[in-house]
Structures are given as structure tokens and as C-alpha cells.
A and B are shown apart, each in its own frame.
Chain A
């Protein structure tokens, strides 16, 4: 198992290098000059050239990539060209907000997804199942900017059950509940669909019929026998959603004024703040790779069959 983990870790290195290369090249190809953006609306070409020189943008692309890789390897994410603050400091400052938001959103997502999915699967084919499915499809289809604004307007603006913004979220988690709910319903709705279909598939298996014939209680059958076996696709969806939440949600963070990573990334992109964009890309890549690794290990833990294959491969 340890060897497998190590092998997987080593395997992520080319993936991360590839992501860094793509991020670097894409930034180079995108129109918009960081020096000109920094220089503002009235700056002579000499001014822009002077700023570009100070930023090292006059160097050949290959040289810049090597310098950049070297810095990344040493864990130096550089300094923002706009704020002149270390990129890592900023990321670490923003991440707690995004993390809190992601965790609460995931709680909503899992609660909604499991409850609705299990309920639907048990009552499959019934009117209730169809109503739940309709709700889930609506939840998936409504874009976050719309659901966010509606929730904000109704629950916070009109009914005043929640604060209208996450302003002050450094002191308490309460202001993050509504934004997290906004994120959570969408992924929860999707999860409900996955839970339902996985469960329905498992519930039709022979061993479930056997368990029933043995006279086991329905709840025991459901939780112990059916759900455990339906877990793999569910975990995959939950984990991928979680890692995407961890990279920040631009829209929810903007609507609810959460000072998290998503807004930070968006601002950096609009201002062509290369070091910040590259730093965030690296951070996001690391999160995805790490979460994927954890999922794989979880699969092995849940499913002995996969574990045996892994061991066999590792031997």
C-alpha cells in the first residue's frame, strides 16, 4: 500500500509539470500586456517598456519558463505585480475563507444528495421519485449566479433570515451559510442523481434479494449492504466537487462578498497578474492531484477487489 502511494505520488510530477507548462504558454498567448495594464491609461511606450523590463518580461520565453519552473520547485511563487505582495502569502490569506465555504457547502451537498437520492431510490418509480428527480434536475440546471441572487434576494433581502453578505466572515461562520448553501444545492442535486442511480442498480442485485430473504431489516440492508456497494461513484462525485470548491467559486464569492481564492484568481486574470495566476494554477493543480490520490486510496479501502489489484500491481 505504501509503495503504491509512493508510486502514485511520483506519477503526479509529470502531471503537475504539464499543467505548469500549459498555464505558462496559455498566459503568453492570451492578448493583453501586463506591463501596459499596470501602466494605466496614460503611459508612453517607453514607460511600458521600462516597467516590462523591471518585470523581466523582455527576456526570451524559454528563459522565463526555466526561471519560473526553478522558482516553483523551490516553493517560491513570486510576487504579485499589482499589489507587490508575495503570492503565497495572499493565497494562504484567502484559502481559509474558501476552505470554510467548501466544507460547509460539502455538508449541504452530501446531506441533500444522500437524503434525496436514497429517498428516490427506495420509492423508485413513484410520484415522489419523479418529483424529487424534477427538483434535482432543476437544481442542476439553474446556474449559480441565478440561484445565488434569488436566495440572496429572498432569504437575506426580504425575509432577513441570513446576512446579505459574507462581510465579517472572519469572525463567524454564519455569514458563510447562505453562500455555502448556494454552492451545495447544485452539487447536492447532482449527487442525488448519482446516489439514486447507483442505489437502484445495487438494489436490483441478487445479494440484496438474498439479504431480504434472510429477513434483515430494510434499513440494515440499505445502509450496510446497498449503500456501501454504491459508494464508489458517490465518492468520486463528492471528491471532485470538493476539490473544485477548494479552488474557489468566482460567482458565489463575488455575489456574497467572500474574500476567497476564486475572486482572487479572477482579479489576477483581469489584471494580467502573471505570478498570481501561475501561483493559483499550481495550487489548484496540487489540490486536484492530492484529492485524486485520496480518492484512489479510498477506493482501495472500500473495495477489497481494487485493493487486491493494486497490491498485485505493486508486487
Chain B
């Protein structure tokens, strides 16, 4: 599930910890297992159907209720979830999964391979209306099922109750990573079919560490640790997720001791970081994201590579990160963030060089008298304005005129996807830690517009290289291939690369410890622990 959201929205999910600790008579230790961990979401997780959700708040609840075949742990390592082990066959054309025995769903149903086949076929069933069918598009028979030409998916089979075999139409190395996404979470067989679907998702049953025990739409979701969970048990008893859309409100609730974890933004970070009571309680986490200004590579003035390169050299990323993000970020050298396959220390990216930039612009026909002028589309949120106004000011120093075009999100997305926006401020949040996730959707020409390549970048060589890279089974060789593709794309500057931002959280005094992963939106809620 790819996330291209503006900074404010990206910051959507936040967990907090509860103050209401359950009493444990006779327990003299300083920490407890149990208690209520109070958290918040920025909007109601409207639909808990994993096949439907594209929203970060929905995913974060789904991640705690359901399990997939595989998942990423806190160290970004791919580990088995409902699959105990797996094996790639015929050079990556097929995967055989051995399932974990003795797993129970929250409704008491026993887990078996039939549930996996059911859930995956359901995702590809056209009546499910899933926007995420691309996750399984390389499975044999997926297209036929999606077009209604087949009633089942040929490439998904269950040789026995504890084995699932998936066959692909072509080798696709990141396939396991895709299986970790919420769209591939497993539902109990038959549960979500037909009319009952809606009722089922009111109080869904998964195999995850938490089960839903209560909810009031637009108010809260209450999850309780599932005693029969097959994995490491949660260290809190209840996870209460309140719905708080207003960040100022969340801050007030945190300050009043009603929330024990708060997501920090550029506007309030300094206020917390400066207070001694929060020493050691603020966590900065690289978020596996890239912020950028996309250029419509087809439209003047951005059909000229000199203009695109010049703008990349007019921005002092380090200074902006220091000024606006309190240093919580890394200048972007391309679309792939550090730590992801394809990131290369050897690729310097663009550095601040206004002289060369001005020379390039002059070559392209722009001078102080005839300045480069363009519209920058953005979301009309304060978080977006904080960045775009600054960019506008920086570029003005070099004689470039930027007109900001703030829009409401749906309208903005429409304008960008249709190619009406000459340039746009956006971000991309990875769904899985793989270079493919930061290149193919963003720069392969088959993904123009709504598919992710909103810059409408096209390089046939890059297209071919991306297609062949996904077949490479050796991780190191594949990483090298992505590094090379990244280098070629960066040279053509389809974006104004900005930065890889950190997400920051502050923990309340009741939290003894909690680990944050870069994929926090699909966190299982297993690491937080309360003190007495």
C-alpha cells in the first residue's frame, strides 16, 4: 500500500499509552503486563476490510487485528507470520508456504490453508472492489479472475490444510514483501462473503495480537490482547485508539495526561524537545518516505531537463531541514531513502550550487528579465504551507517566481493525476522496504498518473531495467541494479528531490518503553510496555 500523502496526513497515526493501569496486587516490579495503552488516530478507520483499505488509519488498526503470511518485524526483517516457513521454487516462479499449526481466529475458527486461498481469491474478486488487486497481479490467473472470466484463481492452491502454493506468471523478487501488506491479511473462510461482509467488518475476526472489543464511530476503537495469539503476546491488556483529527487537541490531551503518546510536528517539536521532563522520551524515527516537488515532465517549462536540474541546485536542503524540520531529516539524493535496497552512498544527488543553476536556466532561456514562472500545486494544509512558502522564498532569491496553488486533497489528487498540475508538492511513503517500491510505481511509464508516476517520467531504458531487475533473485545484485536505475533517473531530475523525513513521537510518563519501526503504520502493537 503506497502512500503518497502530504506531510500532515502522513503523520496520521499515533499511539499513546494509558494511564489507567490495572492493579496487580502483590506485584512489586516496576513494570506491568497489562493496563490500557491509550492511543489516537487522526480519522475514523471507516472500513476494516483489508481488501479495501488504502488509508493509514485503517491499516494501523487492521495490522493489530489480522495477520498475513509474512510480516516485517521491528528491525525491518521479513519474518514468518501465519507462514512458518516458505520456499521459492523454479527460480522464483512459485512459492510454497508451510503454515503455522494450531492458530485460532478471534471467533474461535481454526486457521488453515482454506482461509489463505479464500482471502486471496476474495481480493481478486471483482465484486470486492479492491483498489489493491495489483498486489497479487503477478499470480497466475489473477487477471482472468479480475475480469470475471474465471471463478477461482489458478495460481493459488492448497495441497493440504497446512500448505499453500502460489504460482507467478513471471519471477518477481519483491513478491514476499508485497504479501506483508494489509491487503494480504487473512480472513476466516467464508466470513466476509455476501451480505454478511458488512456485519463481519463491524467487529472483524482475525488472527492478530488484538481483537476488537468495542468501537464508537468517530470516537474510539478499543482493542484487547487476544489470549490465544500464536506469537509473542502484547505487553498491554487494552489498546484504546481515540479518533482525534485536530493535532492541537491531541497535544492538549497528551498534556492533560489523557494520552501517553503524541506525534510531533515541525510546529510543536521544539516546544517538547526543549523541556527536561521529556528528556529521553522523544523518539525520532526515519519514516521510509521521500518528500518532493514533482514536475510534470511533459509540460513546459519542465519538459526541459536543464530547468529541472537547475531547480534541484537552487535549494539548500540541509539549511531547510535545519530551519523547518529541526534537523529531523536527511537531504534526498534520489527517491530511495537510506537503508532501502538501491540506496547508494556513492550517489551524491544534487547539491546547492546556485551559480551552475543560474547558468543552466539562462541556457534554457530564462533570465531576471524573463523569469522562470510556474504554479506549484499543494494541499491546503498548514504543514504543506510551511514547506512551500519556504521553497517559494528560496527560489525567489534566484529570480524564480512560484505561484502556490493550494487545493483540497481530492481535488488536488484529481488535478495531479490528470496531468493538469505543472508541479506539485507531495510525499511517498513506502509500503515495504525494497527499492522496487521507490522506483517502479514512481518512474515506470506504465504507472503514469494515478498509478504513482505522477511526474509522467518516461525512459524506455529505465522501463526495461526495472522489468529485468524484479526478476533478479540475488538481493545484492538486485540492489546494485536499483542503484544504477536510481542514478539514471536522478540525472534526469524528474522531481525536485527534497528530503527523507523522520517521524517523531513523545511518550508519556506511564510508558516504560516502546520501539518504533519505520513501518509504524503497520505496527502490531507488541513493543509497548507500561510502568507501574
Which residues on A are within 8 Å of B, measured CB to CB?
30-33, 36-45, 47-48, 50-51, 54-55, 80, 82-85, 90, 93-94, 149, 152-153, 156-157, 160, 164-165, 167, 169-170, 254-255, 257, 259-260, 263-264, 267, 270-272
Q: Which of A32, A43, A83 contacts B414 (CB 8 A)?
A: A32
Q: State A106–B134 Cα separation when bound (angstroms).
A: 52
Map CB proximity to A onto B223-243 as digits: 1 under 8 Å, 0 otherwise: 000000000000000000011
| Cβ contact within 8 Å between B411 and A30 | yes
Write the chain B residue with the least CB distance to A257: B244
Q: Which of A39, A45, A149, A257 contacts B54 (CB 8 A)?
A: A39
Query: In the complex where A164-B258, A270-B410 touch, is A82 in contact with B252 (Cβ < 8 A)?
Result: no
Q: Which of B129, B133, B217, B258 contacts A259 (CB 8 A)?
A: B217
| Cβ contact within 8 Å between A84 and B47 | yes
* 21 pairs, CB–CB < 8 Å, chain A vs chain B: A31-B410, A36-B450, A40-B132, A41-B5, A42-B4, A42-B134, A44-B447, A45-B451, A50-B146, A51-B131, A80-B46, A83-B47, A84-B47, A84-B49, A164-B258, A167-B242, A254-B245, A264-B218, A267-B46, A267-B218, A272-B410
Query: In chain B, residues 278-314, which have Cβ atoms closer than 8 Å to a Cβ of chain A?
Result: none
Query: In the complex where A254-B245, A255-B246 touch, is A39 in contact with B414 (Cβ < 8 A)?
Result: no
Query: In the complex where A32-B413, A37-B410, A41-B2 touch, is A165 in contact with B126 (Cβ < 8 A)?
Result: no
Interface size class of B (residues with CB under 8 A): 35 or more
Write the chain A residue with the least CB distance to B137: A44
| Cβ contact within 8 Å between B216 and A32 | no
Q: State A170–B220 Cα separation when bound (angstroms).
A: 11
| Cβ contact within 8 Å between B131 and A47 | yes
Q: Which of A45, A254, A267 contacts B44 (CB 8 A)?
A: A267
| Cβ contact within 8 Å between B411 and A32 | yes
B198 CB–A CB distance under 8 Å: yes
Query: In the complex where A44-B451, A167-B220 touch, is A36 in contact with B244 (Cβ < 8 A)?
Result: no
- Determine the chain A residues whose CB is within 8 A of the CB of B54 once the complex forms: 38-41
- Determine the chain A residues whose CB is within 8 A of the CB of B451 once the complex forms: 42-45
Query: In chain B, residues 318-377, which have Cβ atoms closer than 8 Å to a Cβ of chain A?
Result: none
| Cβ contact within 8 Å between A153 and B252 | yes
Write the chain B residue with the least CB distance to A86: B198
- Determine the chain A residues whose CB is within 8 A of the CB of B132 once the complex forms: 40
- Determine the chain B residues whose CB is within 8 A of the CB of A156 once the complex forms: 252, 256
- Determine the chain B residues whose CB is within 8 A of the CB of A48 once the complex forms: 131, 450
Write the chain B residue with the least CB distance to A166: B219
Q: Which of A38, A50, A152 contacts B252 (CB 8 A)?
A: A152
| Cβ contact within 8 Å between A167 and B219 | yes
B149 CB–A CB distance under 8 Å: no
Q: Nearest Cβ in chain A — how far from B226, in angstroms? A: 24
Write the chain A residue with the least CB distance to B199: A85
Write the chain B residue with the least CB distance to A48: B450
Q: Nearest Cβ in chain A — how far from B495, in angstroms? A: 15
Query: In the complex where A36-B417, A47-B131, A164-B252 touch, is A270 in contact with B46 (Cβ < 8 A)?
Result: no
| Cβ contact within 8 Å between B46 and A42 | no
Query: In the complex where A42-B2, A84-B198, A264-B218 touch, is A33 in contact with B414 (Cβ < 8 A)?
Result: yes
Q: Nearest Cβ in chain A — how far from B20, in angstroms? A: 13
Query: In the complex where A43-B451, A50-B126 touch, is A38 in contact with B131 (Cβ < 8 A)?
Result: yes
Top 9 A-B pairs ranked by shortest CB distance? A40-B54, A32-B410, A259-B218, A39-B131, A41-B4, A42-B2, A83-B46, A31-B411, A259-B219
Write the chain A residue with the least CB distance to B4: A41
Q: Nearest Cβ in chain A — how far from B93, in angstroms? A: 24
Q: Nearest Cβ in chain B — how far from A303, in angstroms? A: 42
| Cβ contact within 8 Å between B3 and A41 | yes
| Cβ contact within 8 Å between B414 and A45 | no
Q: State A48–B248 Cα separation when bound (angstroms).
A: 35
Q: Nearest Cβ in chain B — how far from A212, in angstroms? A: 53
| Cβ contact within 8 Å between B249 and A94 | no
- Determine the chain B residues whose CB is within 8 A of the CB of A82 once the complex forms: 46-47
- Determine the chain B residues whose CB is within 8 A of the CB of A80 once the complex forms: 46
- Determine the chain A residues whose CB is within 8 A of the CB of B255 once the complex forms: 157
Most interface-central of B3, B219, B258 (chain A CB within 10 A): B219
Most interface-central of A31, A82, A260, A272 (chain B CB within 10 A): A31
Query: In the complex where A36-B413, A38-B54, A259-B218 touch, is A47 in contact with B133 (Cβ < 8 A)?
Result: yes
Query: In chain B, residues 1-24, which have Cβ atoms closer than 8 Å to a Cβ of chain A?
Result: 1-5
- Determine the chain B residues whose CB is within 8 A of the CB of A157 once the complex forms: 252, 255-256
Q: Nearest Cβ in chain A — how far from B440, in angstroms? A: 10
| Cβ contact within 8 Å between A263 and B218 | yes
| Cβ contact within 8 Å between A40 and B256 | no
Map CB proximity to A onto B437-452 as digits: 1 under 8 Å, 0 otherwise: 0000100000101111
B43 CB–A CB distance under 8 Å: yes
- Determine the chain A residues whose CB is within 8 A of the CB of B244 once the complex forms: 165, 257
Q: Nearest Cβ in chain A — how far from B475, in angstroms? A: 23
B253 CB–A CB distance under 8 Å: yes
Most interface-central of A30, A47, A153, A271 (chain B CB within 10 A): A47
Map CB proximity to A onto B458-486 as digits: 1 under 8 Å, 0 otherwise: 00000000000000000000000000000
B408 CB–A CB distance under 8 Å: yes
B76 CB–A CB distance under 8 Å: no
Q: State A30–B413 Cα separation when bound (angstroms).
A: 13
Q: Which of B197, B216, B248 contacts A149 (CB 8 A)?
A: B248
Q: State A14–B256 Cα separation when bound (angstroms).
A: 51
Q: State A165–B255 Cα separation when bound (angstroms).
A: 13
Q: Nearest Cβ in chain A — how far from B51, in angstroms? A: 11
Q: State A82–B49 Cα separation when bound (angstroms).
A: 10
Inter-chain pairs besides A51-B129, A257-B242, 16 sampled, C-beta below 8 Å: A31-B415, A32-B408, A37-B410, A41-B452, A45-B450, A47-B131, A50-B126, A54-B126, A55-B129, A165-B258, A257-B243, A259-B216, A259-B219, A263-B245, A267-B43, A270-B410
Q: State A85–B45 Cα separation when bound (angstroms).
A: 13
Q: State A153–B46 Cα separation when bound (angstroms).
A: 29
B127 CB–A CB distance under 8 Å: yes
Q: State A270–B126 Cα separation when bound (angstroms).
A: 26
B409 CB–A CB distance under 8 Å: yes
- Determine the chain A residues whose CB is within 8 A of the CB of B417 once the complex forms: 36
Write the chain A residue with the least CB distance to B45: A83
Q: State A169–B5 Cα separation when bound (angstroms).
A: 32
Q: State A43–B243 Cα separation when bound (angstroms).
A: 27
Write the chain B residue with the least CB distance to A170: B216
Q: State A32–B409 Cα separation when bound (angstroms).
A: 8
Write the chain B residue with the least CB distance to A40: B54
- Determine the chain A residues whose CB is within 8 A of the CB of B46 once the complex forms: 80, 82-83, 267
Write the chain A residue with the least CB distance to B252: A157
- Determine the chain B residues whose CB is within 8 A of the CB of A37 once the complex forms: 410, 413
Q: Nearest Cβ in chain A — how far from B76, in angstroms? A: 21
| Cβ contact within 8 Å between B134 and A47 | yes
Write the chain A residue with the least CB distance to B428: A41
Q: Which of B5, B129, B217, B450 contacts A54 (CB 8 A)?
A: B129
Q: Nearest Cβ in chain A — how far from B504, in angstroms? A: 22
Q: Which of B127, B146, B219, B410 contacts A271 (CB 8 A)?
A: B410
Write the chain B residue with the least CB distance to A32: B410
- Determine the chain B residues whose CB is within 8 A of the CB of A153 once the complex forms: 252
Write the chain A residue with the least CB distance to B253: A164
- Determine the chain A residues whose CB is within 8 A of the CB of B201 once the complex forms: 84
Q: Nearest Cβ in chain B — how far from A15, in angstroms? A: 29
Map CB proximity to A onto B367-398 as digits: 1 under 8 Å, 0 otherwise: 00000000000000000000000000000000
Q: State A152–B246 Cα separation when bound (angstroms).
A: 13
Most interface-central of A82, A152, A167 (chain B CB within 10 A): A167
Query: In the complex where A41-B5, A257-B219, A270-B410 touch, is A84 in contact with B450 (Cβ < 8 A)?
Result: no
- Determine the chain A residues whose CB is within 8 A of the CB of B4 once the complex forms: 41-42
